[in-house]
């Protein structure tokens, strides 16, 4: 999920991951970092320290970034719309990931069922051979 958040924000804000990891304080880069921190915290994908470590920052910076984005949501209509748009897109990405995970889980279940069926077939083949042997012995 973290990688999805980063990709979406980088693409939407026109920055690269390399730029985010630099120590620059350019407004555009800082804002993109704060968006990533905000959505990572909202998605509850890790502790504040973990989220910060991904961007070379500490937990306090993540907490501050989250507060800054919340402030934008409350006070800046343009940024509120953009943040909502990101949220919608991440919701769609998350929904797609959930569906993909469901398909993968179903594939695993089907593989287990196939394995069980193969075992049953082998057991039935052995039983048929045993019966054939018994019938052959009776005909002698």
Residue with tokens 């057991």: 123
* pLDDT of res. 104: 81
Residue 124 lies in a domain: no
Domain of 49 in residue numbering reads as 2-98
Residue 4 near residue 89 (C-beta atoms within 8 A):
no
Residue 126 lies in a domain: no
Residue 112 lies in a domain: no
For the segment 92-132, what is each residue's pLDDT rounded down to a tens digit?
Answer: 555 666 666 778 888 999 999 999 999 999 999 999 999 99
Residue 103 lies in a domain: no
Residue 130 lies in a domain: no
Quote the number of domains for the chain: 1
Separation of alpha carbons 46 and 63, rounded Å: 13
Q: What is the CATH number of the domain that holds 86?
A: 1.10.1750.10
Residue with tokens 């995970």: 101
Separation of alpha carbons 35 and 6, rounded Å: 9
Average pLDDT over residues 40-58: 86
* pLDDT of res. 128: 95
The lowest-confidence range among 4-8, 32-36, 42-46, 125-129 is 42-46
* pLDDT of res. 64: 92
More confident call, 123 vs 11? 123
* pLDDT of res. 90: 80
* pLDDT of res. 112: 93
Residue 7 lies in a domain: yes
Residue 19 lies in a domain: yes
What dihedral do alpha carbons 86, 90, 96, 98 form, nearest 10°? -160
DSSP codes of every residue in 91-107: HHHHHHHHHHHHHHHHH
**Secondary structure class of 71 (helix, strand, coil):** helix
């Amino acid at each position: 999920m973290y990688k999805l958040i980063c990709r979406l924000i980088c693409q939407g804000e026109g920055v690269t991951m390399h730029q985010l990891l630099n120590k620059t304080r350019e407004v555009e880069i800082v804002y993109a970092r704060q968006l990533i921190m905000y959505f990572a915290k909202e998605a509850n994908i890790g502790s504040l320290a973990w989220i910060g470590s991904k961007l070379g920052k500490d937990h306090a910076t993540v907490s501050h970034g989250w507060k800054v984005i919340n402030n934008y949501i409350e006070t800046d209509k343009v940024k509120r719309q953009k943040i909502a748009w990101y949220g919608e897109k991440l919701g769609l990405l998350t929904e797609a990931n959930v569906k993909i995970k469901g398909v993968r889980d179903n594939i695993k279940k089907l593989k287990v069922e196939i394995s069980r069926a193969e075992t049953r077939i082998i057991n039935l083949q052995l039983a048929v051979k045993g019966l054939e042997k018994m019938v052959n012995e009776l005909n002698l």
